[in-house]
Amino acid sequence: MYSTAMGTNETSDRLVEATRELLWERGYVGTSPKAVQQAAGAGQGSMYHHFAGKRDLALAAIRRTAGEMDAAAGAVLEGGGSAYARIEAYVLRERDVLRGCPVGRLTMDPEVIADPELRAPVEEVIGRLRARLAAIVREGRDSGELDGSLDPEETAATVVATVQGGYVLARATGSPASFDSAVRGLLALLAPRPAR
């Protein structure tokens, strides 16, 4: 019984992982059940045993992707160091910028955005990211480390927009240098100023 349950979980996991990759590469419309089954090495019966259909599987994949993004951002933003150092660590953390952000790419998928349930994990993870960043900016502003005129919510939105826009620039130019340039510019704007 244990090995059967284990195999069931492994098949479900392979299906979710295959769907995550395909959503990132092809989007929702381009992610067919047949492509998922082939990528996962699973049959149609296995897929429909675990998931009601493509939408149900996509929702599981989107939730997992959002959860991983949330955990990765949290590990950096909730770590030690100054407010600026945590923001810097977040924007400079290692990313595959030429592939784009797996969550950010979902925001450009009309089918995901049109479906409130598929869109919800995307909205939630971006909302949590912005809230974390706003809290860090507020902390840095209140301690005098960051410019006192910074609006925490607007600055958090700017950080998220810079990272997401950096992905777009990198993909458009075929070079991670465009992403690097965007985040370096942001960091220069946020850099603590020496006391006079």
Residues 107-158: pLDDT tens digits?
989 999 999 999 999 999 999 999 999 999 999 999 999 999 999 999 999 9
Band of pLDDT at residue 99, cut at 50, 70 and 90? very high
Q: What are the pLDDT digits (tens) for 160-185?
A: 999 999 999 999 999 999 999 999 99
CB 167 within 8 A of CB 106: no
pLDDT score at 191: 93
| Whether 92 contacts 185, CB under 8 Å | no
Mean pLDDT of 73-95: 95
- Rounded Cα distance between 122 and 148, Å, is 31
Confidence check: pLDDT of 1 > 90: no
In which band, very low, low, confident or very high, does the pLDDT at 98 lie, cut at 50, 70 and 90? very high
Overall CATH class of domain 2-190? mainly alpha
Distance CA 133, CA 78 (A): 10
Displacement of CA 149 from its chain's centroid (Å): 29
- How far is the CA of 56 from the CAs of 24, 48, 68, 117, in angstroms? 17, 10, 19, 10
pLDDT category, 2, cuts 50, 70, 90?
A: very low
Higher pLDDT, 52 or 123: 123
- How many Cα neighbours within 13 Å face the side chain of 71? 6
Side-chain-side CA neighbours of residue 34 (13 Å) = 1
